[in-house]
Amino acid sequence: MKKIIPYNQNLVAYARELRNNMTLGEIALWREVKGKKLGVRFSRQIPIDQYIVDFYCKDLKLAIEVDGSVHFKEGHQEKDMIRQNRLESLGVTVTRFSDLDVKNNLGWVLEKIKMEIDNLKPTPSPSQEGKSQKPC
């Protein structure tokens, strides 16, 4: 059974608001990851603990963050690291991209996400083929 990561109920309304007001970079990336286009299901603007992540695959515990210009202002990178450390302590893998990279290098961003998905997917158990079976 998968462990459910707790979240602050008070963030649900704000997450809904963020889904309705995504940045251009977030919109572009969402078009490419929604509907299992990368083989796994992503949701957008999902509350986890005391934070809201831009995109989240609960099966892999993979969060994708698209950092706009505010993330590069003084003091914000430290906040992002505290946030990322907390999410990682809950078992979430966090992958970050700048908004500019998403808008200008979407193919590269998608390749990086695909690599992360491949790294996090569980490996299938060895085949049972070739093993002798007991007679009835």
Contacts for 32 with CB less than 8 Å, ≥ 6 apart:
38, 106, 110
Q: Fold for domain 9-108?
A: Endonuclease; Chain A (3.40.960)
The pLDDT value recorded for residue 4 is: 76
The better pLDDT of the pair 124, 18 is held by 18
Quickly state the pLDDT bin for 136 (edges 50, 70, 90).
very low
In terms of Cβ atoms closer than 10 Å to its own Cβ (0-12, 13-18, 19+), residue 36 is exposed
In angstroms, the CA 86 to CA 6 distance is 12
| Secondary element (H or E) of residue 63 | strand 62-67
Residue 39 in this model has a pLDDT that exceeds 50: yes
Contacts for 96 with CB less than 8 Å, ≥ 6 apart:
64, 65, 66, 67, 80, 84
Dump pLDDT digits (tens) for 62-108: 999 998 755 556 666 788 899 999 999 999 999 999 999 999 999 99
The better pLDDT of the pair 4, 44 is held by 44
In angstroms, the CA 65 to CA 87 distance is 12
The pLDDT value recorded for residue 8 is: 86
Does this model's pTM top 0.85? no
In angstroms, the CA 35 to CA 38 distance is 8
